[in-house]
Amino acid sequence: MSKSMVFGAFLAAAAFFFLCQASPCLAEEVKIGAGAAPTENVFKKIMGPMEKSIGVKVVLISNGPSDALKDLDKGAVDAASGGVTFPDWMAMMDKEGYQIPDKSVYKHRVIGKDLVKVLTNKDATVKQLSKEQLKGIFTGAVKNWKEVGGPDKPLVLFLGTKIPGTQSVFQKQAMDGADYAKDAKEGTTADDLKAKVAATPGAVCLGPISIVDGSINAPEIPEIGRPITLITKGEPSPGIVKMLEYIRGDGKKYIDG
């Protein structure tokens, strides 16, 4: 090997070394199955800064808490996260008929909090809704916005297949456990629902507070909150441990900001 080739190899190795000092070269991947609340309120906020800071890369699968737990059981993800308490999450899985032989294998911890908001098309110009009105809207008893102080427009309800945690918390706290309207139109994720509501006159759906923006109307409602829970099967992997430490430490400013 010529001196020039040796010198070139040395320079390449030195450049690689200094690049790795500036930012982690081989990020440690952790796969997380998540619902709308953790996706929007935690993971989207910390993913970039965390990978740059400590070399842990989140591969996020926003598939809702139900599918996330099933993926955790299959070993397809390292952790599952949802905007729901652990007992309510287990009850939701039981209601779906998903058999969990031993719930004690799961380790769970709260990693954040979220508020559920009602999102409407901008033409539904209601500024405030009571618990009674919310129950009427989402059970299907209310058919027109004029019944709750809005314009004379038919009400179009959207529910999401990928936000069962959000809808379960709302059903429990705002609807006294009553069933959702049978004729609701279907969406998937919180972002998909927001887009459908923004494009559909008279439409309404639910979503985490973090997705509220100028494309939709978000009337004032009674506070409906929930913890954001993360579950591992057995003790968390080293990558998940590092992520949890980051969430409690440097990542907190991104989550709270």
pLDDT at 13 over 60: no
pLDDT at 3 over 70: no
pLDDT of residue 7: 46
| Calpha distance 34→110 (Å, rounded) | 14
H or E, element range at 112? strand 106-120
pLDDT of residue 210: 87
Per residue in 105-148, pLDDT (tens digit) is 999 999 999 899 999 999 999 999 999 999 999 999 999 999 99
Q: Which domains does the chain have, with CATH numbers?
A: 28-113+227-256 (3.40.190.10), 115-226 (3.40.190.10)
Nearest C-alpha neighbor of 54 from the set 27, 79, 78: 27
Per residue in 182-208, pLDDT (tens digit) is 999 999 999 999 999 999 999 999 999
Per residue in 167-179, pLDDT (tens digit) is 999 999 999 999 9
pLDDT of residue 26: 62
Which residue is listed with tokens 């998940």?
240
| Calpha distance 103→41 (Å, rounded) | 26
What pTM value is reported for the model?
0.73
| Token pair in block for residue 42 | 């935690």
Per residue in 68-97, pLDDT (tens digit) is 999 999 999 999 999 999 999 999 999 999
Side by side, the strands of the sheet bearing 28-34 are: 56-61, 28-34, 79-82, 225-233, 106-120, 203-208, 156-160, 185-187
pLDDT at 24 over 80: no
Chain mean pLDDT for the chain: 91
